Structure formats: structure tokens, C-alpha cells
């Protein structure tokens, strides 16, 4: 069903340092499939307080929050859902009559994917990164029973803080460690970035791993994922993460949960763009 925006159309949006088309196409496709009077648009901004203030002032129903705004937005909302409060990182804002409540659907997606891919809980792991998304991933690992972890982060302050808060180790570099699961939660491998063609971990570490997880979604097959697939590793991609977290955002914004077929079609449509 083709929707025609009107004065009653509910606007949703995303706020990202590097806006992409996935969320825009995913949400708008589902709005059309389900006959919902919503429209979704992607934005970036150099004025974060102004952007979040605009969500409240203009009655924008929901906003997806991506890097690098996941932590900076916390001070600008009215309430944190437990999913966001526990890890002090948000990726979703829901506006109800001017009241902005923040959630973290990344955490939900990570937990679902670790279970879906049957990653053994006794796996040792190294997670590269220490920002807002790294907090969501590491927290989901901790809560999922993954006890033997290493946070790899060049920023000692944030890296140690994340590791200490969850009971993991910290190192500036992976060194000669060879964990069973490698997780990239940095922009390394992201399209358009300075490190788009680089591997987030050295080849020897990838060869020794059993599971490789890259949170980068654009492209869906990063250099890390391509190498891991070629070596027959269990892989979890950023595309899987972004699709599940977008579904949970959609439900928060609209109150409607699409069925599996509708979800699969929306993911395929979003990927095609």
C-alpha cells in the first residue's frame, strides 16, 4: 500500500555521524506494508542539543541514535529505560507528548544473535572498542554468561572503565592473545571511513578464532567478515544487528510487531538500497 503523507503523518528519524539508507528503507517499507501513517528520515547534525530539542518541539515520534551520539544524548532526554540505564548508552528515543524516553535495542539484538548462532558460553573473546555500542555488546556478553573476555581499546580510560565495570580484562592491543571469538565494535572496515579497507584484527588472530562478529553494518561484508567467511568461521554480521535492533525500534515507535515474512521483506528491501 503506497502511503501519501498528510498533516497527521507521524515522523520518525535517525541521528548518525554517517547517515545511511538501511533504517530509512526498512522503516518506510514496513509502514507501507502495514498501512501505517508514518514516515522515516535519516539525519546528521553538528548541533546535538538542537537536534534532540527539535524531536521534542516538533513532535517527532521516534529517533534512532547511532555513533557517535549514543552516550552524548543521555543528558538530553527525560528518562532512561532499564535497557539503556544499565549500560549508560542509548540507541532509541521515543517521544510521548514531549516526554523523551531512551532505550537500547542494540543490547536486545546482540543477546538474540549470540543465542541464535549458538556461540558457546565458555568461549574466550576479545572485543575491540570502548564506546557506546561496545558497552551494549559487552553487557550482553556478560549477562549472557560469557565470563572470559578481553576489552581491546587504545583509549585506556574508557577501555579500563568498560572492562572493570563488567569484570573483564583490558589491553591496548590484542598482542599474542588468540581468543575463540573476535568482536569488532569500531569503525574499522566501515564504508567511507579512513580504515574502510583494513582488518579490525590481524590475520593470525582471525585464523585462530572460531567465531567472528563485526558490528559494522555498512558494508554488510566487511574485510573482517570476508576473511572469516573464507576460512569457514562462524560469523555474525552488523547487518543482522541493525535489522533486529531496527525491528525493536519499529515496535516501540508504532506499537505494531511485523510478522517474520514482513520483517524479512523489509530487510531485503533495505539491503537493496
Residues with active-site annotation: 70
Q: How far apart are the C-alpha atoms of 39 and 17, rounded to whole Å?
A: 21
Q: Under a CB-based contact definition with an 8 Å cutoff, are residues 136 and 104 in contact?
A: yes
Q: Of 180, 98, 186, which Cα lies nearest the Cα of 137?
A: 186
Q: Under a CB-based contact definition with an 8 Å cutoff, are residues 224 and 217 in contact?
A: no
Quote the cell numbers at residue 194: 579512513
Q: Of 238, 232, 234, 246, which Cα lies nearest the Cα of 214?
A: 238
Query: Would you state the torsion angle of the CA atoms of residues 257, 263, 266, 267, taken in this order, to the nearest 10 degrees?
Result: 130
- Per-residue HEC secondary structure of 143-156 comes to HCCCCCEEEECCCH
Please list the residues that pair with 62 across neighbouring strands. Answer: 12, 94
160, exposed or middle or buried, with CB in 10 Å at 0-12, 13-18, 19+?
A: middle
Q: How far apart are the C-alpha atoms of 99 and 17, rounded to whole Å?
A: 24
Q: β-strands 92-96, 181-184: how paired?
A: unpaired
Backbone angles phi, psi at 18, to 5 degrees: -135, 85
Amino acid at each position: 500500500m503506497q502511503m501519501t503523507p498528510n498533516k497527521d503523518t507521524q515522523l520518525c528519524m535517525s541521528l548518525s555521524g554517517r547517515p545511511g539508507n538501511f533504517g530509512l528503507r526498512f522503516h518506510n517499507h514496513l509502514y507501507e506494508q502495514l498501512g501505517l501513517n508514518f514516515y522515516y528520515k535519516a539525519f546528521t547534525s553538528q548541533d546535538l542539543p538542537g537536534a534532540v530539542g527539535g524531536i521534542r518541539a516538533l513532535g517527532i515520534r521516534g529517533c534512532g541514535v547511532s555513533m557517535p551520539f549514543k552516550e552524548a544524548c543521555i543528558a538530553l532526554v527525560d528518562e532512561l529505560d532499564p535497557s539503556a540505564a544499565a549500560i549508560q548508552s542509548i540507541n532509541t528515543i521515543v517521544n510521548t507528548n514531549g516526554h523523551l524516553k531512551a532505550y537500547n535495542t542494540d543490547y536486545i539484538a546482540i543477546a538474540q544473535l549470540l543465542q541464535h548462532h549458538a556461540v558457546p558460553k565458555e568461549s574466550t573473546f576479545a572485543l575491540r572498542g570502548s564506546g557506546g555500542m561496545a558497552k551494549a555488546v559487552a553487557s550482553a556478553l556478560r549477562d549472557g554468561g560469557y565470563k572470559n573476555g578481553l576489552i581491546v581499546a587504545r583509549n585506556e580510560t574508557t577501555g579500563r572503565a568498560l572492562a572493570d565495570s563488567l569484570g573483564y580484562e583490558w589491553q591496548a592491543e590484542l598482542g599474542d592473545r588468540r581468543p575463540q571469538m573476535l568482536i569488532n565494535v569500531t569503525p574499522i572496515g566501515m564504508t567511507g571511513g579512513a580504515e574502510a579497507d583494513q582488518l579490525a584484527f590481524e590475520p593470525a588472530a582471525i585464523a585462530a578464532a572460531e567465531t567472528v562478529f563485526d558490528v559494522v553494518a555498512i558494508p554488510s561484508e566487511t574485510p573482517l567478515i570476508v576473511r572469516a567467511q573464507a576460512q569457514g568461521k562462524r560469523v555474525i554480521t552488523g547487518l543482522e544487528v541493525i535489522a533486529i535492533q531496527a525491528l525493536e525500534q519499529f515496535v516501540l515507535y508504532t506499537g505494531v510487531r511485523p510478522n517474520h515474512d514482513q520483517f524479512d521483506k523489509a530487510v531485503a528491501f533495505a539491503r537493496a538500497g
